[in-house]
Amino acid sequence: MERQDFRPLPQPRPGAQYIQDYQASNVLSPQPVQPSKPIANGYLGTALIPVPRIQSDWPVQYWQGQAISTSGLKNLGNTCYMNAPLQCLSATVPFARFFLENRWQRAVNTVNPLGTRGQLAGAFAKMVQEMWQANFTYLDPTNFRRSVCHYAPSFAGGDQHDAQEFISFLLDGLHEDLNRILQKPANDDPTPEHEAELERLPQQIAGEQEWQRYQRRDDSLVVDYFQGQFRNKLECMTCHKTSTTYNAFMYLSLPIPTGRGMSKVTLQQCMDAFVKEEIMEKGDAWKCPHCMALRKATKQLSISRLPPVLLIHLKRFSYKGPFVDKLETLVDFPLKDLDLTNYMPSPLPPGVDKGFSQSSPIKLDDPRSQIPPYRYELYAVTNHFGSLTSGHYTAFIASKGSWVYCDDSRLSNAEGREIVAKPAYILFYKRVPR
C-alpha cells in the first residue's frame, strides 16, 4: 500500500523475532502446562497454555462526562455514513486517548495476516488527533477514507452505505491491527468432551471458560472496550437434548417490535424481543444429534457477558427480495440509568464456583468486571434520515453535560430532548460505576 499522510509508524522488529523475544521472556512460558485435576465441585478446571502476546499497559477505565474537542468532517460525496460514526468513536474518551497519545504505535501486531500492519490504526489515529486538535471548523477526511477503501473497496465510489457496516469494518480492522496474540494456538477447537462439559456447567462458569478460550486467539483494546458474549442454547422438544454455544459480539443488533398501531416502543421491548425464545420447526427444524433426525426445538439467545462500551444497533431495515423497508418506529431509550442487570445471569451462590477463577483478576473499578449491577449511560448516537438508498447520517455526542450535533462539516449545540427521536439508529452506551 502506498503510504498515506499520517504519523510515521515505528520500525517493527520482524515477526519471528517478536515471537522469540516473547517466548524467551519471563512473562510467558514456552513449556506446555498440564491440565489441572477435576476440582472439588465436579467442574473441570482447565489450565490454559500461555500464548505469545504483546503486553499491554493501557488500563480499561470508566470515564466521567468531559468536554469533547472535535471538528466537523467534510462530506466527500455520500460519506456521511463514515463521518457520523467517526464522531461517536472519537467521543469514546479512553479509547480515543489510546490513539491521541500514540500508544497504538507500541501495540501494533505486524505478524497478523488479518491485519494491515498498523496502516488502518495509523490512519485512524491521525484522524482522531486532527479532530481533537480542533484547529479548523471542519476537516477533509480524504486520506483516512483512502486507507479505508484500500482495505475495503466496497466503500469506494459514491454509493451510499450503511453506517453500521462501516463501524463493524473499522472496529474489526482496528482489532486485527492491535491483536495482542502473536501466535494463535494451532488446535484450540472444542472437543466433544469439552462441549458436553459446557452443557453441565453453570452459564457463569461456562461463559468465562469460553471467553478465556476466545481471548487466546483474539485479544485487543477493541475487545477490552467493545466486545461482549452471547449464549445460544438449542433444546430438542422431543428428547430435550441441548446444545449451547458462546460467541463474542461487537454490538447488539436489536429487533424493533411491530404491530398494528405501534408507533412507539421502548428499548426494553426491543431487548425482550431479542432474548425471546423461538420455536425452530418445519424448514428451520434442528438436526438433533441425539435423535439423529430433524426435530422441533427451542432456541434461546441470551447475554453472558457485557462490555464497558455497549453499541446497540436498532434494526430499522428489513429486506424483502430486492426491496428494503425502513421502520420509522420511535424507540424510547434512556439517556441515563439503562439497567441491564436483569438480562445477565445472576451471581453464583458462595462456594459453587470454588476452584474456578477468571483468566485474570478483575477489580471492581474495572468496567470489564462481570459483577452486577450493569448500568449504562448514553454518550453518542448515530442517526439515519431517509431510506437506505437515499438517506443521510448525523451524530449526537455528549460533551460535559451538554450535547453537540454533528452534521458532516457543521457542528451545533443540541438539547437533551432532541436525542430520543425516530432517526436514532446506533446507540453508544458506556458502563457507569456502581
Digitized pLDDT (tens) for each residue of the chain, 434 residues in all: 333 333 333 333 333 333 333 333 323 322 333 333 333 333 344 455 678 999 988 999 999 988 999 999 999 999 999 999 999 999 999 999 999 999 999 999 999 999 999 999 999 999 999 999 988 999 999 999 999 999 999 999 888 999 999 999 999 999 999 999 999 988 777 788 888 888 999 999 999 999 999 999 999 999 999 999 999 999 999 999 999 999 999 999 999 999 888 999 999 999 999 999 999 999 999 999 999 999 999 999 999 999 999 999 999 998 777 777 899 999 999 999 999 999 999 988 877 765 554 545 567 789 999 999 999 999 999 999 998 778 999 999 999 999 999 999 999 999 999 999 999 999 999 999 98
Q: What is the spatial distance between Cα 180 and Cα 423, in angstroms, rounded to a whole number?
A: 37
305 φ/ψ angles, rounded to the nearest 5 degrees: -155, 135
CA angle 369, 419, 155 (to 5 degrees): 80
Q: What is the spatial distance between Cα 119 and Cα 399, in angstroms, rounded to a whole number?
A: 30
Specify the amino acid at residue 152: A
DSSP 417: G
With beta carbons less than 8 A apart as the criterion, state whether 382 and 406 touch: no
Active site residue 80: yes
pTM of the model: 0.88
Residue 223 CA from chain centroid, whole number: 7
State the cell numbers at 180: 495482542
Residue 121 DSSP SS3: helix
Q: Where are the beta strands (DSSP E) in 155-263?
A: 228-236, 242-249, 252-254
Fold adopted by 70-347+362-431 = Cathepsin B; Chain A (3.90.70)
Angle at which helix 142-151 crosses helix 80-90, to 10 degrees, equals: 100
Exactly one of 150, 194, 291, 392 is catalytic; which is it?
392
Q: Which of 339, 340, 171, 361 is nearest to 248 (CA)?
A: 171
Distances (CA, A) of 113 to 109, 166, 355: 9, 21, 37
Active site residue 392: yes
Q: What is the spatial distance between Cα 31 and Cα 176, in angstroms, rounded to a whole number?
A: 26
The H-or-E segment that residue 331 falls in is strand 330-332
Residue 316 DSSP SS3: coil
The set of residues, in sequence order, having a beta carbon less than 8 Å from that of 305 and lying 6+ positions away, is 207, 211, 228, 229, 370
Q: What is the spatial distance between Cα 86 and Cα 106, in angstroms, rounded to a whole number?
A: 23
Peptide bond into 373 cis (omega under 30): yes
State the cell numbers at 260: 398494528
With beta carbons less than 8 A apart as the criterion, state whether 21 and 12 touch: no
Strand partners, 73: 139
Exactly one of 80, 88, 270, 406 is catalytic; which is it?
80
Specify the amino acid at residue 278: E
Residue 70 DSSP SS3: coil
State the cell numbers at 335: 439517556
- Strands 323-326 and 317-320 turn out to be antiparallel
